[in-house]
Structure 1
Amino acid sequence: MTTIDAFRSSVSAAAPPSDAGSALQALWWAHRGDWARAHECVQGHEGEPDCDRVHAHLHRQEGDMSNAGWWYRRGGRPVPDVSLEDEWNALAAELLARS
């Protein structure tokens, strides 16, 4: 999985790509509309920077800005001033570039 377009297209599969780490799996499930499953992917990886950033994104998506803010602060990042879609794209592109 090297491109964001290929990653987005993979959402039609039954499961995330087998080589995707927890943070990418969470983004995959979020893009598919399964917030709870996405949250499960990162919940067990607290303290891992990529998972913490995706965790923040998920709580922002949920509308829980207090919790999202905590996760952004934990990751040393400000709450993004972009749409959720733009944030998802940026997170996915960054994680894919490093995978």
Structure 2
Amino acid sequence: MLTFEKFSSSTAMALPPTELSVWLESLWWDKKGDWQKAHDLIDHLQDSKSAHIHAYLHRKEKDLWNAQYWYNRAKKTEFKGSLDEEWEQLVRTYLY
């Protein structure tokens, strides 16, 4: 089982672990600094998990109107903490 600590440390590798879901892979690429790849992985998906991560990515981009749209699609309230805190919460939520 992949833990948060193992997931976080895996971002030091060149490629993500093969067992990651599309949601975790998106968050993995985001942590690596590749916002575009992270966005491309979930941009076309219509499920609530993808919308939740999509919201975070647009919040990170400082496109707050678009972020709010995606939080609404995910049926989530806008995260009020730091981007790092939101990233960790998302990973922990979708890891288990």
Q: In the alignment, which residue of structure 2 is the partner of 1:34?
A: 34
Q: Which residue of 2 aligns with 1:66?
A: 65
Q: Match of 1:71, as an amino acid?
A: W
| 2:14 maps to 1:17 | no
Which ranges in structure 2 are unaligned for 5 or more consecutive residues? none
Counterpart AA for 1:4: F
Structure with higher helix content? 1
SS for the counterpart of 2:18 is coil
Query: What is the CA RMSD across the aligned residues, in angstroms?
Result: 1.0
Aligned residue pair count: 96
Letter in 2 for 1:48: D
What TM-score does the superposition give when structure 1 sets the normalisation length?
0.92
TM-score (norm 2): 0.95
Q: C-alpha offsets along residues 6-43 of structure 1, whole Å, 9 cap, x if unaligned?
A: 10111111211111111101100000111001001111
| Runs of 4+ off more than 4 Å | none
- Aligned-pair CA distance for 1:44: 2.2
Give unmatched runs, 5+ long, in structure 1: none
